[in-house]
Structure 1
Amino acid sequence: MRIGLLGTGPWATMVHAPALDGHPEVDFAGVWGRRPEAAKVLADRYGVPAHDDVDALLADVDAVAVALPPAVQAELAVRAARAGRHLLLDKPLATTVEQGRAVVGAAEEAGVASVVFFTSRFQPEIDAWIAEQASVDGWFTAYAQWLGAVFSGGDSPFATPWRREKGALWDVGPHALSVLVPVLGEVRRVAAAAHGPGDTAHLVLEHAGGASSTLTLSLTAPEAAAGSAVELRGAAGVTRLPASGQGALEAYGRATDALLTAARTGRPHPCDAAFALRVTRTLAEADALLGAGG
Structure 2
Amino acid sequence: MRIGLLGTGPWAELAYGPALGAHPDVELTGVWGRRPEAAADIAGRFGTRPYRDVDALIADCDAIAVALPPDVQAPLAARAARAGRHLLLDKPVATDVAAAREIAAAVEEAGVASVVFFTMRFRPETAAWIEEQRAVAGWQVGRADWLGGIFGEGAEHSPFANSPWRREKGGLWDVGPHALSVLLPVLGDVADLDGSLAAVSGAAGTVHLAMRHVSGASSTCALSLAVAPAAAVTAVELRGAAGVTAPPEGDTDAVTALGRAVDALLESARTGRPHPCDIRFGVRVTEILAAAQARLDGR
TM bin, normalised by shorter chain, reads over 0.9
Q: What is the one-letter code of the residue matched to 1:195?
A: S
User: What's the counterpart of residue 163 of structure 1?
Assistant: 166
Is residue 2:142 matched to residue 1:142?
yes
From 215, 222, 225, give the equivalent of 1:219. 225
Contact 2:190–2:197 (Cα < 8 Å) also in 1: no
Structure 2 regions of 5+ residues with no counterpart? none
Following superposition of structure 1 onto structure 2, how do residues 44-123 of structure 1 map, counting pairs within 5 Å?
44-123=44-123
- Identify the residue that residue 245 of structure 2 maps to in structure 1: 239
| Cα distance in 2 between the residues matched to 1:53 and 1:155 | 33
* TM-score normalised by length of structure 1: 0.98
Q: 1:203 aligns with which of 201, 209, 232?
A: 209
Read off the aligned partner of 1:14 and give its amino acid letter.
Answer: L
Aligned to 1:174: 177
Unaligned runs of 5+ in 1: none
> Aligned residue for 1:263?
269
Query: SS at the partner of 1:242?
Result: coil
Q: Report the TM-score when normalising by structure 2.
A: 0.96
Note the C-alpha offset of 1:155.
Answer: 2.9
1:241 and 1:51 map into 2 onto residues whose CA distance is 41
Kept in 1: contact 2:21–2:27 (CA 8 A): yes
Name the amino acid aligned to 2:157.
Answer: D
Amino acid paired to 2:267: T
Structure 1 position 241, deviation (Å): 1.9
In percent, how many aligned pairs have the same letter? Answer: 63
Structure-2 separation of matches of 1:85 and 1:286: 32
Secondary structure (helix, strand or coil) at the match of 1:198 reads helix
Aligned to 2:296: 290
Moved more, 41-50 or 107-116: 41-50
Aligned match of 1:37: 37
The total of aligned residue pairs comes to: 293
Deviation of 1:222 (Å):
1.7
Report the equivalent of 2:11.
11
Partner amino acid, structure 1, of 2:26: V
Deviation at 1:49, TM superposition (A): 1.2
Q: Give me the whole-angstrom Cα distance separating, in 2, the residues matched to 1:131 and 1:281.
A: 24
Between 1:55-64 and 1:151-160, the stretch displaced more is 151-160
- 3-state DSSP of counterpart to 2:249: coil
Which whole-Å deviations, capped at 9, do the CAs of 1:3-36 have from their partners, x for residues lacking one?
Answer: 0100000000000001100000000110000001
